[in-house]
Amino acid sequence: MESHILIISLLSFVLSFIFALGGVGSAVVLIPALSWIGVPFNLARPTGLFVNCVSMLGATWSNFREKKLDVKLGLPIITSSIVMAPVGAWAGHFLPTQTLLIIFICFLFFSGSMMIFFKGSKYANQYREDRPVAGPLGVGVLAGFVSGLLGVGGGGIISPLMVVQGFNPKKVAMVTAFSVPFSSFSAFVTYAALGSVSVKILVFAGLAAWTGGYLGTRVMQKKMKPQSVKRLLGGVLILIGLKFLWSMA
């Protein structure tokens, strides 16, 4: 068990750092990674949610200190995702594992494809600066439900759908990092109430994730282009989806 804790902590740090570069939570990769080292899927999901929560809090704290976070743009996403995340978690607790894995694979392909192929050419030279309610509210509804259902935090939905609506990808990365902890924590509380958590894993993984998320965002702010990172992460997600398909064949 001690070796598992060390591996989980290392995975939490590394993946939180890498995915913070693109402004999304690492649970989408952490969950299959935990499954591959022997952590049960029903325990990997709430662990992924908790890691998402603390790693993106680290990222958000970095953005807040730099005064680059658009809080008003993220509020509709946060509000609707908080409501829908427990609904998704409740549904995920009762669905068969095989069904959840199929849904998870579809999510990996969708999120990865959007990160790689969507360029937002319509807004290539001028991004939106307004703060609408309806569009982000709908994004939050979908992201919150998927976050709870699969334990992925919803960043892989928030980020591409906000870019589709014409917002600057760098601003979207920060808004996503701001929104993910709320939906993740809301769903995590539901899993905790259902008894699917390990406190020891959460403590060590959480500390590692906070550090990784904070450092990853600092690097992204100063040295990297989020769009380039998103394409790299998108390729990783598709490869993981293919591996899942292979293992189910």
| Each residue's pLDDT tens digit, 197-209 | 778 888 888 889 8
**What is residue 197's three-state secondary structure?**
coil
Q: What token pair was written down for 245?
A: 């398909």
pTM over 0.75: no
Element (H, E) at 20: helix 2-20
Helices (H), the chain: 2-20, 27-36, 41-65, 71-94, 97-117, 134-150, 155-164, 169-193, 199-223, 226-248
Is 136 a residue whose pLDDT tops 90? Answer: yes
Give CA–CA dist 90/159, Å, rounded.
24
pLDDT of residue 121: 47
Is 122 a residue whose pLDDT tops 60? Answer: no
Encoded amino acid at 56, one letter: M
| Each residue's pLDDT tens digit, 159-185 | 778 877 888 777 887 888 888 888 888
Is 126 a residue whose pLDDT tops 80? Answer: no
- Residue 31 confidence class, pLDDT cut points 50, 70, 90: confident
pLDDT of residue 35: 80
Q: Do 182 and 49 contact (CB within 8 A), yes or no?
A: no
| Each residue's pLDDT tens digit, 68-83 | 788 899 999 999 999 9
Return the number of other C-beta atoms located less than 10 Å from residue 95's C-beta.
Answer: 11
